[in-house]
Amino acid sequence: MGFRSKRKVIPAKTPGELDAMQAAGEIVGEALQAVRAAAGVGVSTLELDAIAEQTIRDRGAIPTFKGYGGFPGSICASVNDVIVHGIPNKETILKEGDLVSIDCGATLDGWVGDSAWTFGIGTIADDVRALNEATEWVLYEGMKAMVPGNRLTDVSHALEMATRAAEKKFNVHLGIVDGYGGHGIGHEMHEEPYLANEGKGGRGPMIQEGSVLAIEPMLTLGSVDSIVLADEWTVVTDDNSWSSHWEHTVAATNDGPRILTPRK
């Protein structure tokens, strides 16, 4: 994927629409927290999927991922060298030291929330902890560029510069996964524009008050290249290095970036 949008501006949502998106996003946050609370040694990713789906449906929302393009789960559960789009299954049993990324979406009243976080099971290796802390930090540093008047690739550039700064801050080598990134979001989970996680700033459509992007750095301890497995969903690093993925749905406002997928 790459920069393809021909729009001059990223479409804006009204304050009421942003509130509606946050209502969906708060449900995503609840589902992520429920999954993390249940995750532990001996638990399957299929069990985690059931917990997320129940949480979402109990709040009157619909799991956005389930059935999306034929995807069978309510979450993407990506463990260790799986970067994104891991299919929940009963065979993947969590063990001590695993690094687990959970990506989740919920649709409420026609609006979508999309968020991901990554966490360890028990005690994780020092380099894995550094990777994960760095990826989270990169997300929050990168979203600072999500302000009216900036352009799309100003966010991309901020993410790239944050990644390089994180290498020094957390004393870890980081690979920026090539070909995957963030996106516009609203009534649909994936809307224009595509947001790369690196690149030169000052290009692409203008960010205006009310513009919304899903911002999601994906970093590895090794290669920037990936492979899609035979299930046509699961994306793994091509060198088996471990990866981390953090994501928030973020709106640009005159008061600064507004996270629409808060975790209370």
Q: Is 183 labelled as part of a ligand binding site?
A: yes
Report how far residue 27's alpha carbon sits from residue 52's, in angstroms, rounded to the nearest whole number.
Answer: 10
| SS3 assignment, position 111 | strand
* Residue 62 structure tokens: 């619909």
CB 248 within 8 A of CB 103: no
Alpha helices in the chain (DSSP H): 15-38, 45-58, 126-142, 152-169
Supply the DSSP string of 134-147, one letter for each residue: HHHHHHHHHGGG-S
Report how far residue 260's alpha carbon sits from residue 19's, in angstroms, rounded to the nearest whole number.
Answer: 8
Q: Is 231 labelled as part of a ligand binding site?
A: no
Q: Is 91 labelled as part of a ligand binding site?
A: no
Q: Is 103 labelled as part of a ligand binding site?
A: yes
120-124 own/partner pairs: CB under 8 Å, 24+ apart: 121/39, 121/40, 121/41, 121/94, 121/95, 121/96, 121/97, 122/40, 122/41, 122/96, 122/97, 123/96, 123/97, 124/97, 124/98, 124/99
Q: Is 216 labelled as part of a ligand binding site?
A: yes
Binding site for substrate: residue ranges?
85, 190
Binding residue positions for a divalent metal cation: 103, 114, 183, 216, 247
Binding residues: 85, 103, 114, 183, 190, 216, 247
